[in-house]
Structure 1
């Protein structure tokens, strides 16, 4: 099963839960909250790097979900709808988003093999090198333009397609694809440059 189909299955379940909550089933909302609270909170933290503001926006997002429950339409996928609310709150409340302060390792070996990060898996120091690359990646993500950073994180961490990200951000599909492409290109160049600088200093 692909990542996209898994998201679609989750959305089918979430849509049912949302309708159940709209009809007064509070346990349905509890299931939705427990399922999405971690990823949603990380979305805010990694966008703005301010945990206090992230907590405020996170709570406000759920508040808006509760208020809009009765008007939720089944044709809207829940995850897209949820992150659209979150995206709008970021736009409304944050004029100059701060750098990401906390960014954990997002990349599996499969993603690494696509060329985003330089790699030498045969080195006896591979683990230490991977940690260094993750640190360099974190520093490079901070330098991305905000729209590219958001598109990149939603694509890599959340597994959202470009079409879903376009709907969340309210922009065209081609513009979204360009943001993801430019983000990946910029990160490859940035990490490679900083990696070379580290090697030169050794």
Structure 2
């Protein structure tokens, strides 16, 4: 039955005391949330881990006050984004590492692939990771929310607290910079 429920229904059930509903939400969104935070923290796993735990803690605390005014994923990523911004204000994150690229590759890669294809995809991911690291924080966040989390302009605007036109502009600049980086 849990698989049939929407995220919003699960969160409302959790707010009424159904702990199994939280388990279902956590299982559905842990990978997406962690990848988002890892990208946001430029591969610094300790910061991503800290933000991951704090995001879920905030979900737990807010369970009784939750109102499905937006999609659950938008709400969840908005919490994560705000926490990441707070962390960045306290101290600048370090650049991404080779270890991060390997972790991201392992999260997404199918079990059986040809070695030459894995190497090619690894190089493409490495180039993308470097291009993302070079983007200003606002552009990188918009790009990741769009491409990795599949959010639309309105949802990205909601998560980041920016206007839709600002989000469009950030995405346009991010795509242009990444295309230029791959053209090199």
- Range of TM-score over shorter length: 0.7 to 0.9
Once the two structures are overlaid, the 10-residue window that deviates more, 61-70 or 44-53, is 44-53
Distance 2:64 2:151 in 1: 26
Q: Tell me how far 1:45 sits from its aligned partner.
A: 1.1
Inter-CA distance 89–127: structure 2 relative to 1 (3 Å threshold): closer
Query: What's the counterpart of residue 171 of structure 1?
Result: 162
What stretches of structure 2 of length at least 5 have no aligned partner? 106-115
Is contact 1:47–1:99 with CA below 8 Å preserved after alignment? no
Per-residue CA distance 1:62-88 (angstroms, 9 max, x = gap): 000010011111223211111111011
Inter-CA distance 129–60: structure 2 relative to 1 (3 Å threshold): closer
Q: Tell me how far 1:128 sits from its aligned partner.
A: 5.2
Inter-CA distance 57–134: structure 2 relative to 1 (3 Å threshold): closer
Query: What's the counterpart of residue 12 of structure 2?
Result: 19
Of residues 122, 144, 150, the one that matches 1:159 is 150
| Structure whose alpha-carbon radius of gyration is higher | 1
What stretches of structure 1 of length at least 5 have no aligned partner? 1-9, 106-124, 194-202
Give the number of aligned pairs: 166
Matched, 1:29 2:25: no
The 5-angstrom pairing of residues 30-179 of structure 1 reads: 30-48=23-41, 49-95=43-89, 96-101=92-97, 102-103=100-101, 104=104, 129-179=120-170
CA RMSD of aligned residues (A): 2.2
Of residues 166, 169, 172, the one that matches 1:181 is 172
Inter-CA distance 126–36: structure 2 relative to 1 (3 Å threshold): closer
Matched, 1:191 2:182: yes
Is contact 1:57–1:89 with CA below 8 Å preserved after alignment? yes
Inter-CA distance 129–77: structure 2 relative to 1 (3 Å threshold): closer
Is contact 2:44–2:93 with CA below 8 Å preserved after alignment? no
Query: What's the counterpart of residue 110 of structure 1?
Result: none
Query: What's the counterpart of residue 6 of structure 1?
Result: none
Is contact 1:80–1:168 with CA below 8 Å preserved after alignment? yes
Distance 2:8 2:66 in 1: 9
TM-score normalised by L of structure 1: 0.75
Per-residue CA distance 1:4-49 (angstroms, 9 max, x = gap): xxxxxx9x70000000000111000000001101111111111112
